[in-house]
């Protein structure tokens, strides 16, 4: 792992144990995310993009399970394998070092709680001490809030785990703390260019439009300044105009906060617009990874080539990839693309190609480029 | 907030409509009988009935008048509290209900909280630990629970705890307590013996009530909790599979918060309706259980009234049940709208 | 085309049912009771011409009318007035099946017709039905059932011709509301046939004798159909707006075809669960009514009826203890019967769940 890289997924294998059989969803996925870059993860529906991003948070839902591989995160200068960590550690990572934004924002917000409630939740989990201190400062400086609150917050800082602290904090109003949180929430919403953030904070998810909800979710994801933002098709369900706004927002984020973004999508247009590097997935494998210009001008893997050729252009004949995506319950042996590949060789049917650096910074998994080393 | 008030008003109107519908239907059923038959309801002493008596009764109470006239008259009577005379219990229907209601209440005041509290708790646990031990055990016990005939369970418990052991007798009060409660020195503040015992400083009466109430409460709880547990469980499973639960985990929330704050609140929605209906049904009287234990509450009275073809009594009881149903619906709707803000827009 | 996935779904469902131990237990219990019902004449040969009449032991009766505990001649003992409990339990099985299945059938038919009509045609029809079911559900069910049982006449004179007329009027109504081009012709044919038939059968009037048990059946069915109507209506409304219905309409399928080939098969699964569990709970309700004395007469082989005698001993601890077998054993039968159906229904519901989510 180089100095620039902050997340590395190594040979990740994920299986789903369903009634119809074992789905080999991810078959040794390799991915590297660098600091401050937007990495696009492209592929058709069902190729494993979402599973990959969920796996980085170790959140694969049952009946799925992560069977093999490593997920390295560079945190506090150290390289840590997330798959070996206990739940406590994982919880400190989720939402604060790695955050996720999902496809249907209103489904990912709890319908019975207000926007403010749900964003404050995240703030309290990861930045609790900071807000306690802020509240204490406010009480001291502005003379707002009671002495009792002051003592309570100090106690919450010093002895957070004691039973008395827990009881006291549960049954008191903590007005100042709530105010601090509220202010932060409004500030976050404003950063997302949400109009009238005071009002939106009090709203419930069903009252928000799609675009608004997505901004709220992004605001929530960024609230603890994560190193990596996982964006799982965040604009797929939105209007094109709203999509453009969100994309603008996303690139601004990278500029202002130096966060890395894993942008999962099936839309090559979006990829071309904002991504720095692109990883192409097919049937549970990453088949090619390269700089965005490289991918578009110089695609190496047959699938990538076919994908780019299938983009409809006026005047050009409509070309699609023959065949269907294979079922992952009994996936084909060897390279999973071989039965639809124009360049398939004998070895492709038998041996799975390795993921190798074929040119500078250009990785491919294909026998055409010596994948059988 | 205004949306909440608007919603409640809308529901209230709807429920008043249902109440009117029920009363109309009840009244229409009585009107199916000829005026002669209906005249009997006004006669207290059936022995000395002649055709002249019947004719005079029909005249006096206007039993041949047009429908709307009779209905408005009857409605007027009902709203004043006069529900007619109950042959089977030889007292006015309204009085019969008022004197018997406290006994049903004594059972429900213990049974309902137990059912709701443990039903929710067990259901949540079963849903969270799907296919775990607690899930399987609650499942088996639930299914057995609602397969049991209530009278059989009651008889079984009675024969063991009363027949063999003599500890927990049937009825609502022992003979001594019965005497004490009707004595002139005893002030019936609420007419609920359980509470009056304490208010009068005679705690032994309250204990006596408790002794009699245990078995019926067990029967009701065992059978009704089963349904609640199952509904809570499946609702919880549904809720846990929702995307906002995954999102909550992705935020780094600890599992307990995810389950209790996020999943459970959404899962409680269908359970709230069920609980409301359940409590309304319980308050309306537990026909079989009260009969088995000879408890003397509303249910037992309604049963004997139905058997005795005591029309005013059955009608009065039907109206009471409808009223309870409507009130329960209203409370459930309010709870609903409080828990789930989306409902307020409907 | 559309058959293949459905066949696969059935096979999948059966496979899952076979794998769940609780479901198997339920099925085993039901089969056990079916066997008893089928073998009843062998297991407990009838004494009277009406096999449902329980034999009394006149010898012991001359000694005492009180129940006697189990002996070799009376395997489960005898009840009040020396009725053989074993006999009552065996033949009571048939009664139980009869009660459960008949009531479910009646409720289902009424509920299906009204529910489908309300859901598919919507509008005022739907509103009226919904309010009507609301009101019936607001009634205290058990009391309503009791009142119905007692109010029913003992014998109904049925005029066959009037039945024909009523049925043909209903069919005409359905045809008129359907979107069919041949409806005028059909309706005319229907009315002509109806009149002819009713003219021929005019003088025939049947007197249908209704036993108390039958009244119980009808009463429970009348109280129960709103549940089915609402369930079916809900399911249909859910399915009605799905895309394949639009597609079928666009392809020109008649309403009848849409209902039978598309809507019903997709809405049937939750219904199966409810039906299965209802058989159990209906038997419980019928037993409760019999227990209160409103159901079967005293010498009729019915589980609930056997237990109703116990009401007399409630305040009598010695009688309760000594006559334990008179209510324990029939009650055990009721519980097991109900348990079998509930287990099956519960297992079906569990199987349905992943199936629904897989859609």
Whole-number Å distance between alpha carbons of C199 and C216: 34
Count the alpha carbons within 13 Å of C283 in the hemisphere toward its beta carbon. 32
Between A254 and A106, the higher pLDDT residue = A106
Nearest CA in chain A to B266: A112
Nearest CA in chain A to B265: A112
pLDDT in the model for residue C123 = 77
Residue C321 scores a pLDDT above 50:
yes
Contacts across the A-B interface (CB distance below 8 Å): 70
Asked whether the beta carbons of A84 and A97 are under 8 A apart, the reply is no
- Which residues of chain C neighbour B287 with C-beta distances below 8 Å? 142-143, 288, 292
Residue B69 sits at the chain C interface (C-beta within 8 Å): no
Whole-number Å distance between alpha carbons of B118 and B35: 52
Task: Assign C30 a pLDDT band (cuts: 50, 70, 90).
Answer: very high
pLDDT in the model for residue C47 = 78
Q: Which of B147, B158, B159 sits opposite C335 (nearest CB)?
A: B147
Residue A61 sits at the chain C interface (C-beta within 8 Å): no
Q: What is the pLDDT of residues A250-286, one digit of tens each?
A: 777 777 778 888 999 888 888 888 889 999 998 888 9
pLDDT in the model for residue C335 = 94
Do the Cβ atoms of A112 and B251 come within 8 Å? Answer: no
Range with lowest mean pLDDT among A93-102, B144-153, C20-29, C57-66 = C57-66
User: A256 vs A191, A233, A244, CA distance in Å?
Assistant: 11, 22, 18
Interface test with A, best of B240, B241, B245, B247 (most A CBs within 10 A): B247
pLDDT in the model for residue C2 = 40
User: Could you tell me which chains touch chain A, where touching means 3 or more CB pairs under 8 A?
Assistant: B, C
User: B331 vs A85, B114, C316, CA distance in Å?
Assistant: 47, 19, 42
Backbone angles phi, psi at B197, to 5 degrees: -55, -45
Sign, Cα dihedral of C41, C45, C48, C54 = negative
Task: Assign C162 a pLDDT band (cuts: 50, 70, 90).
Answer: low
User: A118 vs A125, A362, B122, B262, CA distance in Å?
Assistant: 11, 41, 27, 10
Do the Cβ atoms of B307 and C150 come within 8 Å? Answer: yes
Residue C334 scores a pLDDT above 90:
yes
The ipTM assigned to this model is 0.82
Do the Cβ atoms of B266 and A111 come within 8 Å? Answer: yes
pLDDT in the model for residue C358 = 47
Do the Cβ atoms of B303 and C143 come within 8 Å? Answer: yes
Beta pairing, strands A356-359 & A277-282: unpaired
Distance from C118 to chain B by nearest Cα, in Å? 19
Range with lowest mean pLDDT among A9-23, B102-116, B181-195, B205-219 = B181-195
Do the Cβ atoms of C334 and B140 come within 8 Å? Answer: no
Nearest CA in chain C to B322: C138
pLDDT in the model for residue C158 = 65
Residue A62 scores a pLDDT above 90:
no
Do the Cβ atoms of B339 and A112 come within 8 Å? Answer: yes
**Average pLDDT over chain A, rounded to whole?**
84
pLDDT in the model for residue C1 = 35
Task: Show the tokens assigned to C53.
Answer: 């009449």
Rounded (10°) angle between helices C141-151 and C212-240? 130
Distance from A100 to chain B by nearest Cα, in Å? 7
Residue A203 sits at the chain B interface (C-beta within 8 Å): no
Residue A171 sits at the chain C interface (C-beta within 8 Å): no
Q: What is the pLDDT of residues C43-71, one digit of tens each?
A: 888 877 777 777 777 777 777 777 777 77
Nearest CA in chain A to B241: A61
Residue A295 scores a pLDDT above 80:
yes
Q: What is the pLDDT of residues A67-101, one digit of tens each?
A: 888 888 888 778 888 888 888 888 888 888 888 88
Residue C190 scores a pLDDT above 70:
yes
pLDDT in the model for residue B52 = 78
Q: State CA B306 to chain mean position distance.
A: 17
Q: What is the pLDDT of residues B186-209, one digit of tens each?
A: 777 777 777 877 777 778 888 888
Asked whether the beta carbons of A288 and A50 are under 8 A apart, the reply is no
Mean pLDDT within B74-79: 78
Strand, helix or coil at A284?
Answer: coil
Q: What is the pLDDT of residues C202-231, one digit of tens each?
A: 666 666 667 777 888 888 888 888 888 888
Mean pLDDT within B175-195: 78
pLDDT in the model for residue A139 = 81
Residue A57 scores a pLDDT above 50:
yes
Nearest CA in chain C to B289: C288
Range with lowest mean pLDDT among B127-136, B186-195, C88-97 = B186-195
Between C236 and A291, the higher pLDDT residue = A291
Distance from C315 to chain B by nearest Cα, in Å? 7
The residue with tokens 């309306």 is B284
- The percent of residues above 90 in pLDDT, for chain C, comes to 6
Please, what are the domains in chain B?
2-86 (no CATH), 91-340 (1.10.3720.10)
Do the Cβ atoms of B325 and C292 come within 8 Å? Answer: no
- Which residues of chain C neighbour B322 with C-beta distances below 8 Å? 138-139
Residue A107 sits at the chain B interface (C-beta within 8 Å): yes
Between C29 and B172, the higher pLDDT residue = C29
Do the Cβ atoms of B144 and C339 come within 8 Å? Answer: yes
Q: What is the pLDDT of residues B9-35, one digit of tens each?
A: 888 888 787 777 777 777 776 666 666
pLDDT in the model for residue C178 = 60
pLDDT in the model for residue C3 = 42
Distance from A129 to chain C by nearest Cα, in Å? 42
**Average pLDDT over chain B, rounded to whole?**
81
Task: Assign A168 a pLDDT band (cuts: 50, 70, 90).
Answer: confident
User: Could you tell me which chains touch chain B, where touching means 3 or more CB pairs under 8 A?
Assistant: A, C
Whole-number Å distance between alpha carbons of C192 and C205: 22
Distance from A289 to chain C by nearest Cα, in Å? 34
Distance from C271 to chain A by nearest Cα, in Å? 24
Do the Cβ atoms of C320 and B314 come within 8 Å? Answer: no
Task: Assign B91 a pLDDT band (cuts: 50, 70, 90).
Answer: confident
Do the Cβ atoms of A91 and B253 come within 8 Å? Answer: yes
Nearest CA in chain C to A20: C12
Task: Assign C359 a pLDDT band (cuts: 50, 70, 90).
Answer: very low
Whole-number Å distance between alpha carbons of B270 and B117: 15
Residue A373 scores a pLDDT above 70:
no
Q: Of B118, B123, B127, B125, give the one whose Cα is nearest residue B239.
A: B127
Interface of C with A (CB under 8 A): 12, 16, 354
């Amino acid at each position: 792992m180089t100095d620039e890289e902050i997340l590395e997924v190594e040979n990740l294998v994920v299986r789903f144990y369903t009634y119809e059989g074992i789905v080999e969803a991810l078959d040794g996925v390799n991915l590297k995310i660098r600091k401050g870059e937007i990495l696009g993860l492209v592929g058709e529906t069902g190729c494993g993009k979402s599973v990959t991003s969920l796996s980085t948070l170790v959140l694969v839902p049952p009946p799925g399970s992560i069977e093999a591989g490593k997920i390295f995160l560079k945190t506090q200068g150290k390289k840590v394998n997330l798959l070996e960590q206990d739940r406590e550690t994982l919880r400190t990572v989720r939402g604060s070092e790695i955050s996720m934004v999902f496809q249907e924002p209103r489904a990912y917000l709890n319908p019975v709680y207000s926007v403010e409630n749900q964003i404050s939740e995240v703030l309290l989990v990861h930045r609790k001490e900071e807000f306690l201190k802020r509240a204490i400062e406010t009480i001291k400086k502005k003379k707002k809030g009671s002495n009792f609150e002051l003592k309570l917050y100090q106690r919450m800082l010093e002895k957070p785990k004691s039973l008395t602290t827990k009881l006291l904090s549960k049954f008191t109003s903590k007005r100042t703390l709530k105010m601090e949180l509220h202010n932060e929430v409004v500030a976050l919403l404003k950063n997302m260019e949400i109009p009238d953030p005071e009002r939106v904070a009090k709203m419930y998810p069903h009252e928000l439009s799609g675009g608004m909800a997505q901004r709220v979710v992004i605001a929530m994801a960024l609230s603890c300044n994560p190193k990596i933002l996982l964006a799982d098709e965040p604009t797929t369900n939105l209007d094109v105009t709203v999509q453009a706004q969100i994309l603008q927002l996303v690139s601004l984020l990278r500029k202002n906060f130096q966060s890395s973004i894993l942008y999962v999508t099936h839309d090559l247009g979006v990829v071309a617009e904002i991504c720095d590097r692109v990883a192409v997935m097919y049937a549970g494998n990453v088949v090619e990874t390269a700089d965005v210009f490289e991918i578009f001008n110089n695609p190496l893997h047959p699938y990538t080539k076919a994908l780019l050729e299938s983009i409809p252009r006026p005047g050009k004949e409509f070309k699609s990839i023959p065949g269907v995506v294979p079922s992952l319950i009994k996936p084909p042996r060897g390279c999973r693309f071989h039965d639809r590949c124009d360049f398939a060789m004998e070895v492709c049917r038998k041996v799975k190609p390795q993921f190798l650096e074929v040119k500078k910074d250009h990785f491919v998994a294909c026998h055409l480029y010596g994948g059988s080393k | 907030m205004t949306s909440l008030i608007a919603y409640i008003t809308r529901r209230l109107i709807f429920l008043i409509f249902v109440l009117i519908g029920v009363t109309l239907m009840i009244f229409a059923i009585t009107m199916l009988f000829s005026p002669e038959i209906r005249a009997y309801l006004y006669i207290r002493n059936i022995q000395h009935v002649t055709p002249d008596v019947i004719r005079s009764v029909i005249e006096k109470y206007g039993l041949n008048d047009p429908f709307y006239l009779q209905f408005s008259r009857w409605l007027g009577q009902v709203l004043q509290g006069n529900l007619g005379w109950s042959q089977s219990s030889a007292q006015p229907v309204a009085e019969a209900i008022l004197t018997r209601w406290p006994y049903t209440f004594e059972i429900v005041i213990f049974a309902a909280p137990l059912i709701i509290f443990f039903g929710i708790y067990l259901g949540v646990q079963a849903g969270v630990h799907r296919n775990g031990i607690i899930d399987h055990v609650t499942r088996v016990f639930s299914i057995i629970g609602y397969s049991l005939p209530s009278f059989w369970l009651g008889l079984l418990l009675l024969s063991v705890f009363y027949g063999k052991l003599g500890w927990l007798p049937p009825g609502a009060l022992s003979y001594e307590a019965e005497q004490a409660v009707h004595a002139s020195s005893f002030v019936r503040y609420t007419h609920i013996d359980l509470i009056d015992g304490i208010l009068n400083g005679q705690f032994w009466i309250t204990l006596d009530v408790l002794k009699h109430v245990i078995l019926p409460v067990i029967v009701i709880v065992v059978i009704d909790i089963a349904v609640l547990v199952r509904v809570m469980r499946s609702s919880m499973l549904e809720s846990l599979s929702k995307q906002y639960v995954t999102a909550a985990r992705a935020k780094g929330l600890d599992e307990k918060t995810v389950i209790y704050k996020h999943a459970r609140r959404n899962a409680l929605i269908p359970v709230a309706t069920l609980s409301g209906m359940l409590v309304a049904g319980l308050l309306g009287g537990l026909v079989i259980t009260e009969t088995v234990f000879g408890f003397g509450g509303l249910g037992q009275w309604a049963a004997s009234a139905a058997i005795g073809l005591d029309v005013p009594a059955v009608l009065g009881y039907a109206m009471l049940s409808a009223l309870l149903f409507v009130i329960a619906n209203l409370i459930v709707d309010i709870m609903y709208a409080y828990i789930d803000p989306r409902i307020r827009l409907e | 085309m559309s058959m293949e996935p459905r066949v696969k779904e059935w096979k999948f469902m059966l496979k899952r049912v076979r794998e769940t131990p609780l479901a198997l237990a339920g099925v085993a219990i039901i089969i056990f009771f079916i066997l008893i019902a089928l073998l009843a004449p062998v297991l407990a040969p009838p004494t009277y011409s009406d096999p449902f009449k329980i034999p009394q032991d006149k010898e012991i009766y001359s000694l005492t009318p009180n129940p006697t505990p189990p002996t070799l001649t009376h395997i489960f003992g005898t009840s009040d007035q020396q009725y053989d409990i074993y006999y009552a339990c065996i033949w009571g099985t048939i009664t139980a099946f009869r009660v459960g299945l008949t009531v479910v059938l009646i409720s289902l038919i009424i509920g299906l017709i009204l529910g489908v009509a309300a859901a598919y045609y919507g509008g005022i029809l739907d509103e009226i039905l919904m309010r009507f079911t609301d009101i019936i559900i607001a009634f205290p069910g058990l009391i309503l059932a009791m009142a119905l049982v007692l109010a029913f006449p003992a014998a109904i004179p049925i005029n066959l011709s009037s039945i024909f007329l009523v049925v043909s009027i209903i069919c005409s109504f359905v045809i008129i509301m359907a979107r069919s081009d041949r409806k005028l012709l059909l309706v005319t044919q229907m009315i002509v046939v109806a009149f002819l038939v009713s003219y021929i059968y005019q003088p025939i009037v049947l007197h249908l004798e209704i036993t108390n048990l039958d009244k119980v059946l009808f009463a429970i069915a009348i109280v129960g159909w709103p549940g089915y109507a609402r369930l079916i209506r809900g399911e249909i409304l859910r399915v009605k707006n799905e895309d394949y219905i639009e597609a079928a309409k666009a392809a020109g399928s008649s309403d009848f075809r849409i209902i039978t080939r598309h809507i019903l098969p997709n809405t049937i699964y939750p219904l199966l669960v409810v039906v299965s569990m209802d058989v159990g709970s209906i038997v419980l309700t019928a037993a409760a009514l019999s227990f209160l004395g409103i159901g079967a007469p005293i010498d009729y082989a019915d589980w609930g009826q056997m237990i109703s005698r116990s009401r007399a001993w409630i305040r009598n601890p010695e009688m309760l203890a000594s006559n334990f077998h008179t209510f324990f054993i029939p009650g055990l039968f009721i519980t097991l019967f109900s348990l079998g159906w509930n287990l099956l229904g519960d297992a079906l519901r569990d199987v349905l769940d992943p199936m629904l989510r897989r859609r």
